[in-house]
Amino acid sequence: MTVETTLENEILTAKIYGEIDHHRAPSIRQKIDGQTENLRPKELHLDFSHVSFMDSSGIGLIMGRYRNISLLGGKLRVINIPQNLQKIISLSGIDSLGVL
């Protein structure tokens, strides 16, 4: 499994495992979006603690989930970002969205 989701106190946490690339991103998006649509949480947390690699598809994944949860009136947080992914996330400008 690539994504494990849990709901607690109206916070949906999606723990992502492995790599986020153009092959895996669609299935990750589908799982998170399905849960978000069904559960309509106040917050969505993307937990990157077990992500070993990410390319621009990971940035797209974050941006798309930000858009979707915002349309539902919720907030996004990206949590537990490994050191090796900090640079790509920083260069992307995602921090300006207030999700880190």
Main-chain phi, psi angles of 86, to 5 degrees: -55, -40
Main-chain phi, psi angles of 62, to 5 degrees: -65, -50
Under CATH, to which class is 3-97 assigned?
Answer: alpha beta
Instruction: Specify whether the CB–CB gap between 63 and 85 falls below 8 A.
Output: no
* Domain residue ranges in the chain: 3-97
Q: Which has the closest alpha carbon to 20: 57, 63, 64?
A: 57
Tokens representing 94 are 């995602």
pLDDT of residue 1: 58
pLDDT per residue over 24-64, tens digit each? 999 999 999 999 999 999 999 999 999 999 999 999 999 99
| Residues 6, 49: Cα–Cα separation, whole Å | 15
